[in-house]
Protein backbone atom coordinates (compact mmCIF):
# COMPACT_ATOMS: atom_id res chain seq x y z
CA UNK A 1 0.00 0.00 0.00
CA UNK A 2 1.37 3.41 -1.06
CA UNK A 3 2.58 5.67 1.68
CA UNK A 4 0.91 9.01 2.42
CA UNK A 5 3.98 10.93 1.15
CA UNK A 6 3.91 9.15 -2.19
CA UNK A 7 0.18 9.74 -2.46
CA UNK A 8 0.61 13.50 -1.95
CA UNK A 9 3.43 13.62 -4.50
CA UNK A 10 1.28 11.95 -7.12
CA UNK A 11 -1.58 14.29 -6.29
CA UNK A 12 0.66 17.34 -6.86
CA UNK A 13 1.82 15.95 -10.22
CA UNK A 14 -1.77 15.43 -11.31
CA UNK A 15 -2.67 19.00 -10.35
CA UNK A 16 0.27 20.39 -12.34
CA UNK A 17 -0.68 18.30 -15.41
CA UNK A 18 -4.29 19.40 -15.29
CA UNK A 19 -3.56 23.02 -14.41
CA UNK A 20 -4.92 25.64 -16.87
CA UNK A 21 -3.92 29.34 -17.20
CA UNK A 22 -5.90 31.71 -15.04
CA UNK A 23 -8.57 33.59 -16.99
CA UNK A 24 -10.35 36.75 -15.95
CA UNK A 25 -14.03 35.93 -16.12
CA UNK A 26 -15.29 39.15 -14.53
CA UNK A 27 -15.26 42.90 -15.36
CA UNK A 28 -13.18 45.19 -13.13
CA UNK A 29 -15.33 48.32 -13.32
CA UNK A 30 -12.97 50.38 -11.11
CA UNK A 31 -9.98 49.97 -13.43
CA UNK A 32 -12.19 50.66 -16.44
CA UNK A 33 -13.45 53.93 -14.92
CA UNK A 34 -9.87 55.02 -14.20
CA UNK A 35 -8.91 54.35 -17.81
CA UNK A 36 -11.89 56.30 -19.20
CA UNK A 37 -11.15 59.22 -16.88
CA UNK A 38 -7.53 59.43 -18.06
CA UNK A 39 -8.64 59.37 -21.72
CA UNK A 40 -11.26 62.06 -21.09
CA UNK A 41 -8.78 64.37 -19.34
CA UNK A 42 -6.27 63.87 -22.17
CA UNK A 43 -8.87 64.78 -24.81
CA UNK A 44 -10.01 67.88 -22.91
CA UNK A 45 -6.45 69.12 -22.46
CA UNK A 46 -5.68 68.53 -26.13
CA UNK A 47 -8.75 70.46 -27.27
CA UNK A 48 -8.09 73.40 -24.93
CA UNK A 49 -4.42 73.72 -25.97
CA UNK A 50 -5.04 73.35 -29.69
CA UNK A 51 -5.26 76.38 -31.97
CA UNK A 52 -6.41 74.34 -34.96
CA UNK A 53 -10.08 75.23 -34.48
CA UNK A 54 -9.81 78.12 -36.91
CA UNK A 55 -12.29 78.79 -39.67
CA UNK A 56 -10.94 77.51 -42.97
CA UNK A 57 -12.92 79.01 -45.82
CA UNK A 58 -12.24 79.90 -49.43
CA UNK A 59 -12.35 83.64 -48.67
CA UNK A 60 -9.87 83.47 -45.75
CA UNK A 61 -6.11 83.27 -46.30
CA UNK A 62 -3.94 83.74 -43.22
CA UNK A 63 -0.79 85.86 -43.69
CA UNK A 64 2.65 84.29 -43.58
CA UNK A 65 5.32 85.65 -41.27
CA UNK A 66 8.66 86.46 -42.90
CA UNK A 67 10.49 86.63 -39.57
CA UNK A 68 12.59 83.59 -38.70
CA UNK A 69 14.26 84.84 -35.52
CA UNK A 70 15.02 87.83 -33.33
CA UNK A 71 16.09 91.27 -34.52
CA UNK A 72 19.54 91.63 -36.06
CA UNK A 73 22.32 93.87 -34.78
CA UNK A 74 21.49 96.35 -37.53
CA UNK A 75 17.91 96.67 -36.30
CA UNK A 76 16.58 99.92 -34.87
CA UNK A 77 15.25 100.09 -31.32
CA UNK A 78 12.11 102.18 -30.78
CA UNK A 79 10.92 102.78 -27.22
CA UNK A 80 7.53 104.38 -26.53
CA UNK A 81 7.09 104.90 -22.80
CA UNK A 82 4.29 106.74 -21.06
CA UNK A 83 6.16 110.04 -21.33
CA UNK A 84 8.71 109.93 -24.14
CA UNK A 85 9.89 108.35 -27.40
CA UNK A 86 13.45 107.06 -27.86
CA UNK A 87 15.26 105.88 -30.99
CA UNK A 88 18.31 103.72 -30.26
CA UNK A 89 18.42 105.13 -26.75
CA UNK A 90 18.23 108.78 -27.85
CA UNK A 91 15.15 110.68 -26.70
CA UNK A 92 13.20 112.73 -29.24
CA UNK A 93 13.10 116.04 -27.42
CA UNK A 94 9.81 117.85 -27.01
CA UNK A 95 7.57 114.98 -28.10
CA UNK A 96 4.92 114.13 -25.53
CA UNK A 97 3.27 110.71 -25.62
CA UNK A 98 -0.53 110.91 -25.30
CA UNK A 99 -1.80 109.14 -22.22
CA UNK A 100 -4.11 106.17 -22.33
CA UNK A 101 -6.16 107.52 -19.43
CA UNK A 102 -8.35 110.62 -19.65
CA UNK A 103 -7.65 111.31 -15.98
CA UNK A 104 -3.92 110.83 -15.17
CA UNK A 105 -4.87 109.82 -11.62
CA UNK A 106 -6.53 106.69 -13.04
CA UNK A 107 -3.22 105.41 -14.41
CA UNK A 108 -1.83 102.44 -12.44
CA UNK A 109 1.42 103.00 -10.64
CA UNK A 110 4.56 101.13 -11.68
CA UNK A 111 4.37 98.76 -8.68
CA UNK A 112 0.69 97.88 -9.22
CA UNK A 113 -0.26 94.66 -11.05
CA UNK A 114 -1.36 94.89 -14.66
CA UNK A 115 -5.05 95.27 -15.39
CA UNK A 116 -6.90 95.08 -18.67
CA UNK A 117 -7.65 98.57 -20.00
CA UNK A 118 -9.32 99.60 -23.25
CA UNK A 119 -7.53 102.74 -24.43
CA UNK A 120 -9.18 105.06 -26.98
CA UNK A 121 -8.28 104.44 -30.59
CA UNK A 122 -9.68 107.53 -32.31
CA UNK A 123 -7.53 110.33 -33.73
CA UNK A 124 -7.99 112.84 -30.86
CA UNK A 125 -6.07 110.41 -28.63
CA UNK A 126 -3.02 110.26 -30.90
CA UNK A 127 0.01 112.54 -30.97
CA UNK A 128 -0.69 116.26 -31.02
CA UNK A 129 -1.29 117.87 -34.45
CA UNK A 130 1.87 119.97 -34.06
CA UNK A 131 3.91 116.75 -34.37
CA UNK A 132 2.11 115.62 -37.54
CA UNK A 133 3.33 116.10 -41.09
CA UNK A 134 0.05 117.71 -42.19
CA UNK A 135 -0.71 119.42 -38.90
CA UNK A 136 -3.99 117.57 -38.30
CA UNK A 137 -5.04 115.11 -35.60
CA UNK A 138 -6.27 112.65 -38.24
CA UNK A 139 -2.80 112.44 -39.83
CA UNK A 140 -0.77 109.32 -38.99
CA UNK A 141 2.76 110.47 -39.79
CA UNK A 142 4.79 111.73 -36.80
CA UNK A 143 7.38 114.12 -38.23
CA UNK A 144 9.90 114.09 -35.31
CA UNK A 145 9.93 110.29 -35.29
CA UNK A 146 10.36 110.08 -39.05
CA UNK A 147 13.29 112.49 -38.88
CA UNK A 148 14.85 110.60 -35.98
CA UNK A 149 14.91 107.25 -37.79
CA UNK A 150 16.23 108.55 -41.11
CA UNK A 151 19.90 108.21 -40.13
CA UNK A 152 19.55 104.78 -38.41
CA UNK A 153 17.68 103.47 -41.46
CA UNK A 154 20.41 104.73 -43.78
CA UNK A 155 23.08 103.14 -41.57
CA UNK A 156 21.19 99.82 -41.52
CA UNK A 157 20.95 99.86 -45.31
CA UNK A 158 24.67 100.52 -45.64
CA UNK A 159 25.45 97.65 -43.25
CA UNK A 160 23.24 95.32 -45.29
CA UNK A 161 24.96 96.46 -48.48
CA UNK A 162 28.40 95.89 -46.96
CA UNK A 163 27.39 92.37 -45.97
CA UNK A 164 26.33 91.63 -49.52
CA UNK A 165 22.60 91.83 -48.88
CA UNK A 166 21.48 94.75 -51.06
CA UNK A 167 17.77 95.09 -51.61
CA UNK A 168 16.84 93.11 -48.50
CA UNK A 169 13.18 93.21 -47.51
CA UNK A 170 13.10 96.27 -45.28
CA UNK A 171 15.04 97.39 -42.24
CA UNK A 172 14.17 95.73 -38.95
CA UNK A 173 12.91 97.50 -35.84
CA UNK A 174 12.40 96.26 -32.30
CA UNK A 175 9.53 98.21 -30.72
CA UNK A 176 8.95 98.48 -26.98
CA UNK A 177 5.54 99.88 -26.07
CA UNK A 178 4.43 100.64 -22.54
CA UNK A 179 1.69 98.23 -21.48
CA UNK A 180 -0.85 101.07 -21.36
CA UNK A 181 -0.04 102.61 -24.75
CA UNK A 182 -3.21 103.42 -26.68
CA UNK A 183 -4.02 101.68 -29.95
CA UNK A 184 -3.98 105.04 -31.76
CA UNK A 185 -0.41 105.78 -30.65
CA UNK A 186 0.72 102.31 -31.78
CA UNK A 187 -0.92 102.83 -35.17
CA UNK A 188 0.77 106.20 -35.70
CA UNK A 189 4.20 104.89 -34.64
CA UNK A 190 4.02 101.86 -36.95
CA UNK A 191 2.73 103.93 -39.86
CA UNK A 192 5.59 106.40 -39.45
CA UNK A 193 8.17 103.61 -39.32
CA UNK A 194 6.67 102.14 -42.45
CA UNK A 195 7.07 105.50 -44.19
CA UNK A 196 10.75 105.33 -43.21
CA UNK A 197 11.12 102.04 -45.14
CA UNK A 198 11.18 99.85 -42.04
CA UNK A 199 9.57 96.63 -43.16
CA UNK A 200 10.09 94.19 -40.28
CA UNK A 201 8.77 94.68 -36.74
CA UNK A 202 9.64 92.84 -33.53
CA UNK A 203 7.51 93.58 -30.44
CA UNK A 204 8.99 92.97 -27.02
CA UNK A 205 6.69 91.63 -24.30
CA UNK A 206 6.99 89.98 -20.90
CA UNK A 207 5.99 86.34 -20.61
CA UNK A 208 3.39 85.75 -17.94
CA UNK A 209 4.40 83.55 -15.03
CA UNK A 210 3.02 80.02 -15.22
- What are the domain boundaries of the chain? 76-203
Q: At what angle do helices 143-162 and 183-195 cross, to 10 degrees?
A: 50
> Measured between alpha carbons, how far is 124 from 143 in angstroms, rounded to an integer?
17
- Burial class of residue 169 in the structure, from the number of CB atoms within 10 Å of its CB (0-12 exposed, 13-18 middle, 19+ buried): exposed
pLDDT at 40: 83
Residue 83, pLDDT score: 87
Give the CA radius of gyration of the chain.
34
Query: Is residue 190 a contact partner of residue 198, using CB atoms and an 8 Å limit?
Result: no
- pTM score: 0.64
Exposed, middle or buried: residue 50 (CB in 10 Å: 0-12, 13-18, 19+)? exposed
**Interatomic CA distance for residues 82 and 174, integer angstroms:** 17
For the chain, give the number of residues: 210
Name the region of 31 (left: φ>0; alpha: ψ -120 to 50; beta: rest).
alpha
Query: pLDDT digit of tens for each residue in the chain (210 aa)?
Result: 557 777 777 777 777 777 666 666 666 777 778 888 888 887 777 665 555 556 666 776 666 666 566 655 667 899 998 889 999 999 999 999 988 877 767 777 767 777 777 777 788 889 999 999 999 999 999 999 999 999 999 888 888 788 765 555 568 888 999 888 888 999 999 999 999 988 888 888 776 665
Q: Write down the pLDDT at residue 182.
A: 87
Alpha carbons 24 and 112: distance in angstroms, whole number:
62
Closest CA to 78 of 180, 167, 200: 200
Q: What single string gives the DSSP state of each residue in 71-121?
A: --TTPEEEEE-SS-EEETTEE-TTPPPPPS-SSGGGSPPTTSPP-------
Amino acid sequence: MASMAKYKAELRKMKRRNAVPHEVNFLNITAMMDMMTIILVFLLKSMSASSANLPQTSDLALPTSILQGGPTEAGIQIVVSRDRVLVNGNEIKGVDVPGCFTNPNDAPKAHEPYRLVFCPGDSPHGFAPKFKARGTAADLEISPLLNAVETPVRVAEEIAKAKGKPGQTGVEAMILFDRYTSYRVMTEVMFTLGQAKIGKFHFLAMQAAK
